[in-house]
Amino acid sequence: MFELNLPAPSARSLLLTVIGELMYMPPEDAWTTALLHVLGGLGVEEHAARQVLARAADAGWVVREREGRAVKWRLAPKGRAVVSDGIHRSEAFLAGPPEWDGRWLLLFVTVPGEQRTTRKRLYGGLSWLGLGNPVPGVWLTPHTERGAELSELVEGLGLRTSALSVVGSVHGAGLDVDEIAGKAWDLTDLEAHYRVLLDQLDALPEPQGGDETLFAYLELLNVQQRFMRRDPFLPEELLPEWIGREGAARIRACRERWGASAHARWAELVRDCAPR
């Protein structure tokens, strides 16, 4: 449905969207046949869907329980924690631009040259937390509330002794606020992706219920999640005119229109797929 010139979503990404949206609240249990039906509607072939479910169980996201010849799934504690974090981040994204007190969360970090895998994981984690890189070795974000998550990332990668984290305002001896925003984040491609999304939403026929609404809703959620991974969600003081805020508002409006029907169809699927 959505063609945004972004990397195509993986089966893993789509499964996270499905279990995060449909299995966090009742009905929490889902039969394999219901999950395969939904993943198939999102373009995941049955063999790949079964594989990604098995890998999700191995990773501790979900647990399975057999009832006769049928298998049902539910979120494991680890999976619920991942989903809870995603819901919190989604609510902030959809709520609109945050207020900002002028302070930054800064990270000064070095990674030894031979630790390429660690560096890749660090940069991926910093990007997810919305940190930008205005000068070499320095990462920062106006979201000072993400300090605990930043500490968890640094500790988890074994970088505590080569990192320093600070919360505070910048001094006039270096880059000013506008220069920091311009150098830390290159949002040119992301802006173009948002424009494509808005154009596609303008042209999109309203889904007519049942599977059509369920699949459109889940696809939109996955699109939102992919934008959230790239958008640092800067306050208006740093980015006064940002198309991403319009994009978030339009996504929110579609979710409000489609959500109840999508969840009703999911509850119906769970009932229909239950073993007799």
Distance CA 210, CA 161 (A): 54
Sequential pLDDT tens for the chain (276 residues): 676 667 788 999 999 999 999 999 887 899 999 999 999 999 999 999 999 999 999 999 999 999 888 899 999 999 999 999 899 999 999 998 888 999 999 999 999 888 999 999 999 999 989 999 999 999 999 999 999 999 999 999 999 999 999 999 988 788 888 899 999 999 999 999 999 999 999 999 999 999 999 999 999 999 999 999 999 999 999 999 999 999 999 999 999 999 999 999 999 999 999 887
Rg of the chain in Å (alpha carbons)? 21
Distance CA 187, CA 191 (A): 6
Which pLDDT score, from 0 to 100, does residue 4 have?
A: 65
Cα 270 vs. chain centroid, distance in angstroms? 25
Distance CA 8, CA 113 (A): 31
3-state secondary structure 218-248: HHHHHHHHHHHCCCCCCCCCCCCCCHHHHHH
Q: Report the SS3 class of residue 179.
A: helix
**CB-hemisphere CA count at 13 Å for 4?**
26
Matching residue, tokens 């000068």: 135
On whether the CB atoms of residues 107 and 245 are closer than 8 A, the answer is: no
Distance CA 27, CA 266 (A): 9
The pTM assigned to this predicted structure is: 0.91
Matching residue, tokens 């989604």: 90
Beta strands in the chain (DSSP E): 30-31, 62-67, 70-75, 104-109, 132-135, 138-141, 163-168
Which pLDDT score, from 0 to 100, does residue 173 have?
A: 80
- Residues 6 or more apart whose CB falls under 8 angstroms from that of 41 comprise 211, 214, 215
B/e letters for 135-166, b = 16+ CB within 10 Å, e = fewer, are eeebbbbbbbebbebbeebbeebebeeebeee
pLDDT tens digit string along 171-228?
Answer: 878 888 889 999 999 999 999 999 999 999 999 999 999 999 999 999 999 999 999 9
